[in-house]
Amino acid sequence: MRNLTRKEELIMLSILHLKNKAYLVAIADHLSKVTKKKVSLTSVHLPLSRLEKKGLIDSEYGESTAVRGGRRKKVYQITRPGFEFLDETKRISDLLWKDYINLIAK
């Protein structure tokens, strides 16, 4: 199984959360809201294109707005292999996170 970086994983989950509004600026915003840290556009853009190359997400052009100077958004969504991948990641993570509270309480 191919590996994902933490960043890529977070980005995929953000896309999931944002539903069909997941474009670059929105993803970056969402991430910085969750992590409470500043997230730059470029630091999101590169993992995004990597994920797209791996076929875990794909994109289509969305509507354009005035604030974007009339340019269209590139909206990302998770593909079938992407979902399978997320499932698998969650299974592994859950296994590893299991009994976390008990474990640190000792």
Residues interacting with another protein, by CB under 8 A? 23-25, 28, 40-42, 45-46, 49, 61, 64-69, 71-74
For another protein, the closer CB: 72 or 91: 72
Residue matched to tokens 């994920």:
51
For another protein, the closer CB: 58 or 89: 58
In whole angstroms, what is the distance from residue 85 CA to residue 105 CA?
A: 32
45-46-49 Cα angle (round to 5): 85
CB atoms within 10 A of CB 99: 9
Could you tell me the smallest distance in angstroms from the CB atom of residue 42 to another protein?
6
Could you tell me the smallest distance in angstroms from the CB atom of residue 88 to another protein?
29
